[in-house]
Structure 1
């Protein structure tokens, strides 16, 4: 999917990722076991910025996903990424995945701000009726960000994932589009 504009929030700019965004800092997030502990990508950590470029190009070429960088408006710092997709048009639903990789940006509400804006885009501009996000039960930061963005916990699947050698539940959060009459 292609987004030919930048989504703006009061503190963030969300724009399509490009090869130039495959920085050493981004690679460092993906290699940081604290940052990636809840990401499935921790099982195939990129070896180089070239691996990140390939990932960015792969998602950008996709017809059902959109990868956006999360940048601070005040100084342009790249602090994370958010992806909407796959978008399942026949069911008018899409999934969200996100990462605030810069640990200095944790706990400041940037995640919920980005989630809220990308969910708005998915509903209002892509015509989705439902946006979902799955997390591990111990990912308290993500749970808080989703709730703050208006999502609701819809399902818990016990013993669904392995994290740090333990079986954990996964949780599905959802946001329904307003009913149109």
Structure 2
């Protein structure tokens, strides 16, 4: 799914990524242990420009996901991504995740603005009724971003997932239409 639109946010916008948007800062950010600490799939192998382009291309062609780049007014390149995936139209549900790989953007409310814009679009344009996100218990910044974007905590999953090899709790948040 590749919507041909830009979503405005305070201080920037979201736009669906294309392979030409992949830049070295994006690749380096995905490989940075501080950035990818709470990301699952990215850490499985070292990311390269080729592997990131392949991911962007696959997502762009997928009927069940949208990968937006997060741009700020002061940057010519995107500084993060927000991804709506696992879109299930029959049930009206999807999952959402965010990664701000440019650490200079952390703590500015950009994540919650991006989450809120993507969520509004999913509810309004796709008619979804439930958007779900998971955050490791230690990932306080993500939890704050989802709460600030209007999500509510719906349940915890204790001990199922590993963070740095240790069973941990994942907090599940949802936005509802």
User: Are 2:62 and 1:62 aligned?
Assistant: yes
| Superposed displacement of residue 164, structure 1 | 1.9
2:144 corresponds to which residue? 144
Q: Distance in 2 between matches of 1:110 and 1:71?
A: 9
1:77–1:22 Cα change, 3 Å: closer
1:30 corresponds to which residue? 30
Which residues in structure 2 correspond to 1:68-147 (within 5 Å)? 68-147=68-147
- Confirm or deny: 8 A CA contact 1:46 1:52 kept in the other structure: no
2:153 corresponds to which residue? 153
Q: Distance in 1 between matches of 2:47 and 2:92?
A: 36
SS in structure 2 at match of 1:122: helix
1:96-120 per-residue CA deviation (whole Å, 9 max, x = no partner) reads 0110111111011000000000000
- Confirm or deny: 8 A CA contact 2:129 2:176 kept in the other structure: yes
SS in structure 2 at match of 1:34: helix
- Confirm or deny: 8 A CA contact 1:30 1:45 kept in the other structure: no
TM-score, structure 2 length as denominator? 0.96
TM-score, structure 1 length as denominator? 0.94
| Superposed displacement of residue 20, structure 1 | 1.5
Which residues in structure 2 correspond to 1:154-173 (within 5 Å)? 154-173=154-173
The alignment's C-alpha RMSD in Å is 1.1
- Confirm or deny: 8 A CA contact 1:158 1:170 kept in the other structure: yes
**Residue ranges of structure 1 left out of the alignment (5+ in a row):** none
1:39 corresponds to which residue? 39
SS in structure 2 at match of 1:143: helix
| Superposed displacement of residue 44, structure 1 | 2.1
2:13 corresponds to which residue? 13
| Superposed displacement of residue 42, structure 1 | 3.6
**Residue ranges of structure 2 left out of the alignment (5+ in a row):** none
